[in-house]
């Protein structure tokens, strides 16, 4: 069976963007792939984190994975830092990557242009991401568009390594949804909806109070032309709502435009709110049953045993190829 690998960083609160861009894909692909879905906690510490909150957020993501429909019977869910082979392989890959290619990563460039004191981890984390993926010989990696450059880097590292040391890694394919790969902030539709940004009014969090969710959607920033038409350049706000509606109902953009051609923005926003609330109600009721049960630990134990077995084999294969240790 082919393999899927992906992860989410436990920083801030998971958003509707994380659901539409990533988790929804995980659940759909899960039917046809052997799946390794992890909590990318080592990625979280590239920025300072409060240990107590980080621990809570790690558990919360596992609860959300399960509440969204992933199941420990057919998905290996684990915490990245518990599987120590990711960091070992990451170091080996760091020694086979170049400053030039790392300096071109736009997420690093953006942060470096805004902040003076950034950690070395911010610079090298795309290599840890490559390790997360290559260690499992992943066939596909579902993510939103913001991770595209990192998956391309991963492919380049794999190809280069294979050329140098012989066939070692599978070269993975990215899976980025055609619509919904970048859900935007409702208050500023030119900015991505992000779990750690400072404007909660523009972000829908998966565990948000449902009344607040309706309020946030009804007050989403739109243009003044009042026609429901998809046009990213001229109408980014309404296009973002159309994308959300399309992702949750599986209706095409064309169908949505036809269906709402005689409606105003208020009517449409109210329908979008109904769909989002229906989804979150379901996720939240499952989450509340799961979060304080044994299912969390049972899931993580099972995921760790399997992921560690595979990662260890790959790590030892690398040590052997590079002439390291006694392997
Ligand atoms: P992270 O935690 O920032 O985001 C998790 C996933 O959610 C997607 N996403 C979005 N999709 C659509 N619209 C949005 N507004 C939106 N915001 C976030 C992201 O594209 C991502 O798929 N480095 C990664 C985590 C990671 C990883 C990996 C992913 C670590 N190792 C290996 C895949 C494979 C990150 O920080 O994602």
Domains of the chain: 3-176+292-322 (3.40.50.620), 200-288 (1.10.240.10)
Candidate of 146, 175, 191 to mutate for ligand 1, largest count of ligand atoms within 8 Å of Cβ? 146
Q: Which of 147, 151, 241 to mutate to test the pocket of ligand 1 (most atoms within 8 A of CB)?
A: 147
pLDDT score of 101: 97
The reported pLDDT for the residue numbered 116 is 85
**Which pLDDT value is given to residue 198?**
72
- pLDDT tens for 262-288 read 999 999 999 999 999 999 999 999 999
pTM: 0.97
pLDDT of residue 90: 98
Strand ranges of the sheet holding 34-39, from the earlier edge strand across to the other edge: 75-79, 34-39, 3-8, 140-142, 173-175
Regions of the chain with pLDDT less than 50: none
Helix 51-67 to helix 295-322 angle, to the nearest 10 degrees?
A: 100
Q: Ligand 1 mean position to 266 CA, how many Å?
A: 31
Amino acid 94: pLDDT: 98
CA quadruple 3, 139, 26, 91: dihedral sign:
positive
- Residue 34 CB coordination number (10 Å): 18
According to the model, what pLDDT value does residue 108 have? 94
Predicted confidence at residue 162, as pLDDT, reads 98
**241 CB contacts (<8 Å, ≥6 apart)?**
217, 220, 222, 268, 269, 272
pLDDT of residue 196: 78
What lies within 8 Å, CB to CB, of 321 at 6+ separation is: 165, 166, 168
């Amino acid at each position: 069976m082919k393999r899927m690998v992906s992860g989410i960083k436990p920083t801030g609160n998971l958003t509707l963007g994380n659901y539409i861009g990533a988790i929804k894909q995980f659940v759909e692909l899960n039917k046809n792939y052997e799946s390794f879905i992890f909590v990318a906690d080592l990625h979280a510490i590239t920025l300072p984190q409060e240990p107590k909150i980080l621990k809570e957020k790690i558990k919360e993501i596992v609860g959300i994975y399960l509440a969204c429909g992933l199941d420990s019977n057919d998905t290996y869910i684990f915490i990245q830092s518990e599987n120590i082979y990711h960091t070992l392989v990451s170091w080996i890959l760091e020694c086979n990557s170049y400053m030039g290619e790392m300096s071109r990563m736009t997420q690093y460039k953006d942060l470096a242009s805004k902040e003076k004191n950034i950690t070395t981890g911010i610079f090298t984390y795309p290599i840890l991401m490559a390790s997360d993926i290559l260690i499992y010989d992943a066939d596909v990696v579902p993510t939103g568009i913001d991770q595209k450059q990192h998956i391309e880097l991963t492919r380049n590292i794999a190809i280069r390594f294979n050329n140098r040391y012989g066939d070692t890694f599978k070269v993975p394919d990215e899976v980025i949804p055609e619509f919904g790969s970048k859900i935007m902030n409702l208050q500023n539709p030119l900015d991505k909806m992000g779990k750690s940004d400072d404007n909660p009014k523009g972000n829908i969090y998966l565990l948000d109070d449902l009344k607040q969710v309706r309020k946030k959607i009804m007050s989403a920033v739109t243009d003044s032309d009042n026609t429901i038409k998809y046009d990213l350049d001229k109408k980014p706000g309404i296009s973002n709502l159309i994308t959300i509606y399309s992702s949750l109902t599986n209706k095409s953009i064309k169908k949505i435009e036809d269906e709402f051609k005689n409606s105003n923005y208020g009517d449409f926003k109210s329908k979008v709110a109904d769909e989002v609330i229906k989804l979150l109600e379901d996720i939240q009721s499952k989450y509340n049953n799961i979060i304080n049960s044994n299912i969390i630990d049972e899931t993580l134990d099972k995921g760790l045993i399997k992921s560690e077995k595979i990662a260890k084999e790959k790590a030892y294969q690398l040590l052997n190829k590079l002439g390291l240790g006694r392997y």
